[in-house]
Chains A and B, each alone.
Chain A
Amino acid sequence: MIRVLEQIGRVFLRLFEETGLWFTMLWRTMAWSVRPPYGVGEWFRQMVRLGVDSIPVVFLTAMFTGMVLALQTFIGFQRVHAESFVGSVVALAMLRELSPVLVGLMVTGRVGSSMAAEIGTMRVTEQIDALEALATDPIQYLFVPRVIAGIVMLPFLVVLGDALGIGGGYLVAVRLMHANPVQYEINTYQFLDMNDVWSGLIKASAFGLILTLTGCVRGYYTTGGAEGVGRSTTAAVVNASLIILLSDFFLTKLLF
Chain B
Amino acid sequence: MTVATNMEPQSDPNAEPMISLQHIYKSFEGKEVLRDLSIDIARGESVVIVGGSGTGKSVTLKHIIGLLRPDSGHVMIEGRDITEMRPVELNRFRQHFGMAFQEGALFDSMSVFENIAFPLRRHTKMTEEAIAARVEECLEQVHLHGVDGKRPSELSGGMRRRVGFARAISLKPEILLFDEPTTGLDPVISDVVADLIVEMDRTLNTTTVTITHDMKVAFKIADRVAMLFQGHIVEDGTPAEFQRSENPIVQQFIEGRAEGPLTDGTNE
Contacts and interface: CB of A to CB of B under 8 A. Distances in A.
B102 A134 contact: no
Contacts of B95: 135
Contacts of B88: 35, 137
A127 B108 contact: yes
Given A130-B99, A133-B65, A137-B91, A125 B122 contact: no
A190 B87 CA distance: 55
B119 A134 contact: yes
Contacts of B91: 132, 135-137
Contacts of B94: 132-135
A133 B87 contact: no
Contacts of B98: 133
Interface in B92-132: 92-95, 97-99, 101-103, 105-108, 118-119, 122-123
Interface in B33-71: 62, 65, 67
B101 A137 contact: no
Q: Specify which of A130, A133, A137 lies most central, judged by the most chain B CB atoms within 10 Å of its CB.
A: A133
Interface residues of A, number: 14
Contact of B62 (A127, A129, A134, A137): A129
B161 interface: no
Contacts of B105: 125-127, 129-130
B167 interface: yes
Interface in B231-257: none
A37 B103 contact: no
Contacts of A130: 99, 101, 105-107
B87 A134 contact: no
B122 A126 contact: no
Interface string A235-253: 0000000000000000000
Contacts of A135: 91-95, 119, 122-123, 171
Contact of A134 (B93, B103, B122, B177): B122
Nearest to A139: B87
A127 B123 contact: no
Contacts of B97: 133
A37 B122 contact: yes
A87 B167 CA distance: 60
Contacts of A127: 105-108
Contacts of B87: 137
Interface in B186-202: none
Nearest to B115: A130
Contacts of A35: 88
A136 B107 contact: no
A130 B167 CA distance: 10
A72 to B, nearest CB: 44
A129 B65 CA distance: 10
A132 B91 CA distance: 7
Nearest to A127: B105
8 contacts: A127-B106, A130-B101, A132-B67, A133-B99, A133-B101, A134-B118, A135-B123, A137-B87
**8 smallest beta-carbon distances between A and B, as pairs:** A130-B105, A126-B105, A133-B99, A135-B94, A134-B119, A135-B95, A126-B101, A127-B105
